[in-house]
Amino acid sequence: MPEGPEIRRAADKIEKQLRGKTLDDVWFAFPELAKQASSLIGIQVNAVDTWGKAMLIRFADQRVLYSHNQLYGVWKLHSEDKPPSTKRSLRVRLTAEGRAASLYSASDVSLWHENALDSHPFLARLGPDLLSQQVTSGDVQKRLHDPQFRRRSLGALLLDQRLVAGLGNYLRTEILFFSKLHPKMRPVDLTSVQLSLLADSIIDITHRAYRQAGVTNLDAWIEQAIAAKEPRRQWRFSAFERAGLSCHRCGSIIERMMVGSRRLYLCPCCQLLSP
């Protein structure tokens, strides 16, 4: 499933194509939305942003198109007269000035009034979005101290969208690696220095992945990995996907483990489980 940085980058592309433009044509596959399609024609697209792994296309009449890609959804941009060649099922198409944004394969799509978004069953449960909202390290530290989070293992907690929205499997591994923390540790176990580093890493690694199209590794380590002929799926990360390879920091062998039924990678030397 795409994580927050990937959805934010997709939103940026759609915003660049549609923002400020008036819709000439709108098509929805879902019957409950199809009857509203014509009411969006002639309406301007004001903005496209994200909340975690959900995308929000905001219209000038204060309606908002919510979509969640889940496992298989994907947005494609194209000329109005040249739709993509794909076997995927078209769910949404928004067209303006000869260009279109089409959503394929996603099933979680709905239209909301902006004032009602707080009652959305998914959005209402989310923590703050690190890429579309102003979130500081202090904000994240306060959330880590919250009673509902402070005694949970970091390996599970970092996938809980109520903490902060948009984190996923590769970000979890990378955040813990750069924080030098074992996934079984809990916020309550951490020193103030460790807690600060974790909060900084949650923000910094997410923004790095967004800026660098999913690359979270450091430049010097990338050079080493490329020189060692590692494929991109490995050199783009500091630890994720690197089981059996040397830790960039200490030279120990990166290990793979399962946490919450999902794979996680760590350095057994750099990320010791403190007593």
Out of 6, 8, 15, 53, the active site residue is 53
| Catalytic site includes residue 87 | no
Q: Could you give the angle at which helices 137-145 and 192-211 cross, rounded to 10 degrees?
A: 130
Helix residue ranges, H only, 19-131: 31-34, 37-40
| Catalytic site includes residue 262 | yes
| Catalytic site includes residue 2 | yes
Tell me which residue of 51, 4, 16 sits closest to 211, measured CA to CA: 4
**CA distance readout (Å), 220 to 178, 199, 208, 216, 224:** 15, 24, 15, 12, 6
261 three-class SS: coil
| Catalytic site includes residue 3 | yes
As a whole number of Å, the end-to-end CA separation of the chain is 34
Q: Which residues contact 57 (CB under 8 A, 6 or more apart)?
A: 14, 18, 45, 47, 48, 64, 65, 67, 94
Please count the other Cβ atoms lying within 10 Å of the Cβ belonging to residue 103.
Answer: 26
73 neighbors 10 (Cβ within 8 angstroms): no
Placement of tokens 């970091």 in the chain? 154
The residues that are catalytic are: 2-3, 53, 262
